[in-house]
A = this chain, B = another copy of it.
Amino acid sequence: MKNALIVISGGMDSTTMLYEFQSEIALAVTFDYGAKHGAKEIPLARMHCERLGIEHITIEMDFMQRYFRSSLLTGGEDIPEGRYDDENMRSTVVPFRNGIMLSIACGLAESRGLKRLMIANHAGDHAIYPDCRAPFVEAMSRATQEGTYDRIAIDAPYTHLTKAEIAARGKRLGVNYAETWSCYKGGDTHCGCCGTCVERREALAEAGIDDPTTYEN
């Protein structure tokens, strides 16, 4: 039954989820919050939805670039290099981003009569991003249920999977990871050095996928 709304970025995880659950997804929403890599990610998110015949909308959140502090945002400090789980990645946290995206998605779902919100947070995010952890998702799902007539719930089936496990699912589904974007720097090609590039490389290798990405370094 097509009654779910998915929050999709154009990265590996949400793209895999889009393909895996395509038969249940009625609407895909991408948030443009001024991320440095938004111009690379968002067109890919739209392209996958068009290919699968799933309605896609982009919601602009200009206020985040203007008022929020994060190295991930255009105008913020430089993206750190190194491993994804290092403390130095903490500057890339966009405060309560998943809460904001899920809340807007919830209001949109209720406006459309949809019953379920899907999001592709995963186990590798837990160290740095509090709004990717299971206790956050559970509390937020309780809030969306209590705060809507339709008791809209959050469904985050990758919460306890590693990125490599997600990539292995994508491999079985035939997802072409050349058509996804990870690098937080948002240059012409993936930098290969930032935390999310390192994580991407390792996940593809661990899943036994011949990495199709062009890396600058």
User: A111 and B68 in contact (CB under 8 A), knowing A99-B106, A148-B96?
Assistant: yes
Residues of B contacting A144 in the complex (Cβ-Cβ under 8 angstroms): 96, 99
Main secondary structure of the interface of A (DSSP, over half): helix
Taking the nearest CB of chain B, how far is it from the CB of A186, in angstroms? 21
A54 at the interface (CB under 8 A from B): no
* Cβ-defined contact, A100 with B94, below 8 A: no
* Cβ-defined contact, B148 with A108, below 8 A: no
User: A106 and B95 in contact (CB under 8 A), knowing A60-B62, A146-B139?
Assistant: yes
Taking the nearest CB of chain B, how far is it from the CB of A147, in angstroms? 4
Q: Smallest CB-CB separation from A59: which chain B residue?
A: B63
Residues of B contacting A109 in the complex (Cβ-Cβ under 8 angstroms): 95
* Cβ-defined contact, B63 with A67, below 8 A: no
Task: From A8-16, A127-135, A176-184, A198-206, give the one contacting chain B.
Answer: A127-135
Taking the nearest CB of chain B, how far is it from the CB of A35, in angstroms? 14
Q: What is the 8 Å Cβ interface bit string for chain A, positions 92-125, against chain B (1 contact, 0 not)?
A: 0111111110111011111100000000000000
How long is the Cα–Cα vector from A93 to B147 in the complex, in angstroms? 11
* Cβ-defined contact, A131 with B111, below 8 A: no
A57 at the interface (CB under 8 A from B): yes
How long is the Cα–Cα vector from A94 to B131 in the complex, in angstroms? 25
A143 at the interface (CB under 8 A from B): yes
Q: Smallest CB-CB separation from A128: which chain B residue?
A: B149
How long is the Cα–Cα vector from A144 to B142 in the complex, in angstroms? 12
How long is the Cα–Cα vector from A64 to B100 in the complex, in angstroms? 13
Residues of B contacting A110 in the complex (Cβ-Cβ under 8 angstroms): 95-96
* Cβ-defined contact, A143 with B143, below 8 A: yes
Identify which of B93, B97, B148 contacts A130 (C-beta below 8 A). Answer: B148
Contacts from A to B (Cβ < 8 Å): 57, 59-60, 62-64, 67-70, 93-100, 102-104, 106-111, 130-131, 133, 135-136, 139-140, 142-149
